Amino acid sequence: MKRIVISAVILAVMFVGCFYSVKVTCDFSDNLINRIHEVEDSYKNSDFERAKTCAQTLKDEWESFADRSILINDLGHAIEIASSIAEIQSFAEDEDDEIYASCDRAETQIDMFKDMQIPTIWKIL
């Protein structure tokens, strides 16, 4: 009987941990997307210094997340996100209008990253 109880407790802890991880990842992804919008808005308003600062903050937050993440399911996808974020920072520093395309690309990649973390029956099977 003790084995069944212990197994149920372990299963419950894993279940809670899984959904907590999903929540943290979704919240973090939303935060990154908001940062991208800040960069775009600052650039649109010709506030290039703020755009540079927001782009640096975006890069720092992504690097911090990637460094402390235990598991990232798709390392190639994480590298693409890092590359897009680095482009955003570079275009912000150069005051290049290509920043809009990089922001859209990064936002799409982060949305895909977020969607990959949400458990569904199809992903489990």
State the Cα–Cα distance between residues 125 and 42, nearest whole angstrom.
Answer: 44
Statement: residue 38 has pLDDT above 70: yes
Angle between helices 75-94 and 48-68 (to 10 degrees): 160
Residue boundaries of the structural domains of the chain: 24-124
Statement: residue 125 has pLDDT above 70: no
Which tens digits make up the pLDDT trace of 72-122?
Answer: 556 677 888 889 999 999 999 998 889 999 999 999 999 988 888 777 787
Looking at every residue in the chain, the average pLDDT score rounds to: 87
pLDDT interval class at 10 (50, 70, 90): very high
Statement: residue 71 has pLDDT above 60: no
Give the pLDDT confidence score for residue 66 in this predicted structure: 78
Domain covering 24-124 in this structure, CATH number: 1.20.120
Give the pLDDT confidence score for residue 70 in this predicted structure: 57
